[in-house]
């Protein structure tokens, strides 16, 4: 799981252009969206949906599912480990 969490942090930094942010700067329990944590927005959420499909073969049909899955890096990694097809 630790390996997946680190990989996920690196992927998120890359696809969301989080320049100036390093994997160790991201608290795995902190919220990804909103003022706390990474402060991501609705377009970032859609980009994370693409990341899930492209890198892990998980297709979310309803963007609202993302609200639960993208709560934190830990929640996201847990969902990926249980549902990944690649």
Catalog residues that contact other proteins under the rule CB under 8 A: 15-20, 39, 41-44, 46-47, 50, 53-54, 63
Least Å distance, CB 46 to other proteins, is: 4
Strand partners, 40: 33
Using CA atoms, how far residue 9 sits from 6, 14, 61, 72, in Å, is 5, 9, 23, 11
Q: Which is nearer to other proteins, 5 or 16 (CB)?
A: 16
Q: How far is the CB of 48 from other proteins (least distance, A)?
A: 10
Crossing angle for the helix pair 42-56 and 2-15, to the nearest 10 degrees: 130
Nearest to other proteins of 6, 18 (CB atom): 18
Q: Nearer to other proteins by C-beta: 42 or 81?
A: 42
Alpha helices in the chain (DSSP H): 2-15, 42-56, 65-69, 73-83
Query: Whole-number minimum distance, CB 56 to other proteins, in Å?
Result: 12
């Amino acid at each position: 799981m630790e390996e997946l969490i680190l990989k996920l942090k690196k992927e998120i930094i890359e696809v969301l252009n989080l320049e100036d942010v390093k994997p160790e700067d991201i608290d795995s329990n902190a919220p990804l969206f909103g003022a706390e944590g990474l402060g991501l927005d609705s377009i970032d959420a859609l980009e994370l949906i693409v990341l899930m499909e492209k890198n892990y073969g998980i297709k979310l049909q309803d963007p609202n599912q993302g609200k639960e899955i993208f709560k934190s890096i830990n929640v996201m990694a847990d969902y990926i480990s249980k549902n990944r097809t690649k």
